[in-house]
Chains A and B, each alone.
Chain A
C-alpha cells in the first residue's frame, strides 16, 4: 500500500511540476509570440472548454446592452463603441489583429475601426480601419490610383501617379485645389506636408487670449504662435470627486515633437473623494526660442481637474474634437463641423442647447445625443450653462477670429453630405472575402506605447454613428477576433544580455 501511495504521490508531484513549468513557459513566452483567439460562434465543445478551462484571453464585450452574444452565432454589435480587454502574459512590441465580420451598415454608419487604448488620461485610442463603406463601395465614379495599400481617389483624373500628386501637394499645397479644403485623408499621415490651412492667411499680430470659460478634464488645443515666446498661465481647481490624486501634465507639441512640458502635482490639501473644491492654484509655462507656427497643447488630467482663466499670447486657439466646459453662465462657441455629439454626467447640466438654428433637449445623463447643423462653414453653439461634453470631428473656438483648423478633413461618416473634396488619400487595405459573406481585415499595431494594466490591453471596436434602436437597423456581426502578439524572443534577450 505504501508503494501504491508513493507512486500516486510521485505522479501528482510530476504533474504539479509540469503545470509550474507550463505557467513559466507561458509567462516568458520564449518564442516571443502569443496568440489570443476568440471565436464567437459558440459550440458545445467550446462550452465544455469554458467550464473546465479558464477565462478567455479576450474579455466579454462591454457595455453588454450594445451587443447580442447568443448561445450560438456571431457577436452582434448594435451600438458604438464596444470595449474588450486582452490579457497577455507579458508586454509585446507588435500585434496583428485579424477580425472576421459581416457588416450590415449604411451611409450613416460607413466606418468600422478597431484599436487599443494608447493614453488613459486623454482616453485616446489608436484606431485603424477595419471596413470603410466609402472606400469599398462608395467612390465607384472616382478615378483611383493605388500603390500597395495607399490609394488616391480623384474626382477628375488630373494626376497619373500618387508620387505626382504628393509632389504637387508638397510644392503647391492647396493651390492645386478648386475649393479651399479639397483633400480629405483617411488613415494617412501627411506630417511633413503643408498643413491643410494656408498659414499666410493667418493674421500674424501677437495678441493675447484669455479663455473666458472653465475647462474641465483632459483637452487638446491647437494654437498659432506668431512670435518666438509662449506665455501660458491659468488657475487649477481640483474638484476632489475621484479617490485618486490628480496631477496635471501640460505638453506643447510642434507636429509630433515635444517642445515644452510641465507637470503639476496634486498638493493633496483636501481629502480625495470628499467633493470639496480646492483653492485656485496658479500655474505658468513660459518657453522662448520657439519658431512661429502651429502648435498643439495637451492637458493630460483627470476629470476632477478644471482650468480657469487660461491665458496665452496667441490669437488663434481651437479645441481639438472635444471640449468640456464648466460654467454657470451661458456659453457661446463655434465649430467647423456640421454635427455635434453631446453628453453630460451631471443632472445639473441638463438643458436645451442651440446648434445653428436648431435646438436639442438634453434630458438624460450619460446618454450620447447628436444634432446636425445647416450647410455652412462655421456652426454656432449656444449653451445655457456648462457641464456638457461636446465632441465632433472638427475644432471648437470662441469666435471666428480665433478659429482655425490645421488638420486635413477626414473621410468619415459626415463625408456623404460633403461635396467639397477633389482628392481622397487613404491608407486602406481592402477587406478579404471569406465564406458565408464574411469579410476579414488585418490590422497591424505597434504596442510599445499602449496602455497596459494588470496584464491587459484595452481593445475597442468602433462603428461611429451606430446607435441602439436605429431607424436603418444597422449592425455588425463579428465571427472571430484573432490577435497575434510579437516581441523579443528569450534567445534574443539572452544574446542581447551577453552582448553576442
Chain B
C-alpha cells in the first residue's frame, strides 16, 4: 500500500517533469518562430537564456525519470 502510494507520487512527478519539458520545448519553438518573423518581440518579455537553461535541466531530469 505504502509502496503503491510512493509509486504514484513518483509517477506524478515524472509526468509533471515530462509535461513541463514538453511545454518548454513548445515555448522555445514558439520563440524561434516569433524571433524569425518579428525580431525582438519574444525576447522583450522572456529571458531566452533562462528558458533554455531550464529546458536543459528538465531534459536531464526527464531522461533520468524515463530511465528509472
Contacts and interface: CB of A to CB of B under 8 A. Distances in A.
Contact of A16 (B8, B23, B41, B45): B23
11 contacts: A1-B12, A1-B15, A16-B30, A23-B45, A27-B38, A51-B50, A53-B45, A55-B44, A89-B38, A89-B44, A456-B40
Interface string B1-27: 000000010011001100110110011
* Interface size bracket, A side: 20 to 34
* Interface size bracket, B side: 20 to 34
Contacts of B27: 16, 19
Contacts of A202: none
Interface in A43-72: 51-55, 57
Interface string A29-48: 00000000000000000000
A284 B23 CA distance: 63
B38 A12 contact: no
A324 B14 CA distance: 68
A23 B23 contact: no
A8 B19 CA distance: 7
A4 B40 CA distance: 36
B39 A5 contact: no
Nearest to A53: B47
A26 B46 CA distance: 13
A89 B39 CA distance: 9
B50 A55 contact: no
B30 A57 contact: no
B23 A12 contact: yes
B38 A455 contact: yes
B32 interface: no
Contacts of B39: 454-455
Contact of B42 (A5, A15, A51, A54): A54
Contacts of A12: 19-20, 22-23, 26
Contacts, number: 66
Interface of B: 8, 11-12, 15-16, 19-20, 22-23, 26-27, 30, 34, 38-48, 50
A57 B43 CA distance: 10
Secondary structure class of chain A's binding surface, majority of residues: helix
A51 B47 contact: yes
Given A19-B27, A27-B38, A53 B19 contact: no
Interface string A89-101: 1000000000000
A374 interface: no
B38 A1 contact: no
A5 B19 contact: yes
A264 interface: no
Nearest to A85: B40
Contacts of B12: 1, 4
Contacts of A263: none
Nearest to A5: B15
A64 B19 CA distance: 43
A54 B16 contact: no
A1 B15 CA distance: 9
A367 interface: no
B40 A454 contact: yes
A34 to B, nearest CB: 11
B26 A87 contact: no
Given A1-B8, A4-B15, A54-B42, 6 more contacts: A8-B19, A12-B22, A20-B30, A26-B44, A27-B41, A51-B47
A288 B41 CA distance: 50
A19 B29 CA distance: 13
A9 interface: yes
A65 B50 CA distance: 28
